[in-house]
């Protein structure tokens, strides 16, 4: 397998693996790993190293909403302009063009449902070209980025077997 892909896969699994650990696993030298990662960062293949947090356990209120947006495509720009415009708000965590009934899927984070509702009403909906919005609040997370939120869901084996 392509060594860069192998490194990317490992970082996706755990981005805190050290260069040395990655070198051990892949059989590359530490230097090669370092250079490959640098190269991938420079090319913006690796964009950011993030953390998956179960906010419920932290005491901080984090409400997430998935908002389906219908957009009138513009001559020469399609959906891009509106998408870029939505991206500017810091409450917006992700924006994707999607197929199907809606055009954009927007993920928004806030402290309360009201805060998000106001964001949609006052900022998102009035944007020129936005035809409609449908807001879905996330009530409970089961799995994200391949990780199960509830303990024991990912490994159903007995803990010790011969």
- DSSP secondary structure of 47-95: --------GGGTS---EEEEEEEEE--BTTTBTHHHHHHHHTSTTEEEE
Check if the beta carbon of residue 70 is closer than 8 Å to that of residue 131. Answer: yes
Q: Does position 122 bind other proteins by CB under 8 A? A: no
State the number of binding residues for other proteins (CB under 8 A).
18
Q: Which is nearer to other proteins, 99 or 161 (CB)?
A: 161
* Residue range at the interface with other proteins (CB under 8 A); choices 14-22, 52-60, 62-70, 96-104: 14-22
Task: Give residues 27-66 in contact with other proteins (rule: CB under 8 A).
Answer: 27
Q: Give the nearest distance from C-beta 61 to other proteins in angstroms.
A: 25
* Cα(162)–Cα(160) distance, integer angstroms: 7
- 154, 109 Cβ separation under 8 angstroms: no
Residues 140-159 that bind other proteins (CB under 8 A): 151, 155, 157-159
Among 2, 5, 13, 42, binds other proteins (CB under 8 A): 13
Closer residue to other proteins, CB minimum distance, 26 or 105 = 26
What CA–CA distance (Å, rounded) separates 95 from 82?
10
**Rounded to whole angstroms, how far apart are CA atoms 9 and 12?**
5
Q: Is residue 5 within the footprint of other proteins (CB under 8 A)?
A: no
Judged by CB under 8 A, does residue 100 bind other proteins? no
Residue 2 engages other proteins in binding (rule: CB under 8 A):
no
Q: What is the smallest separation between the CB atom of 20 and other proteins, expressed in angstroms?
A: 9
Beta bridge partners of 144: 147
Give the residue with the Cβ less far from other proteins, 2 or 155: 155
Who contacts 16 (Cβ-Cβ below 8 Å, separation ≥6)?
49
Binding site for other proteins (CB under 8 A): 10, 13-14, 16-17, 21, 24-27, 151, 155, 157-162
């Amino acid at each position: 397998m392509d060594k860069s892909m192998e490194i990317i896969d490992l970082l996706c699994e755990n981005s805190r693996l050290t260069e040395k650990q990655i070198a051990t696993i892949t059989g590359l030298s530490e230097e090669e790993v370092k250079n490959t990662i640098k190269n991938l960062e420079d090319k913006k293949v690796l964009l950011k190293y993030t953390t998956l947090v179960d906010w419920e356990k932290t005491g901080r209120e984090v409400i997430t909403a998935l908002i389906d947006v219908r957009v009138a495509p513009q001559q020469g720009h399609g959906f891009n302009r509106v998408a870029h415009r939505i991206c500017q708000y810091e409450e917006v965590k992700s924006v994707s063009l999607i197929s199907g009934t809606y055009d954009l899927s927007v993920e928004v984070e806030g402290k309360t449902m009201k805060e998000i509702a106001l964001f949609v009403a006052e900022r998102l909906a009035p944007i020129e070209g936005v035809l409609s919005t449908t807001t879905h609040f996330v009530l409970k997370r089961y799995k994200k980025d391949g990780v199960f939120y509830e303990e024991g869901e990912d490994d159903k084996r007995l803990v010790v077997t011969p």
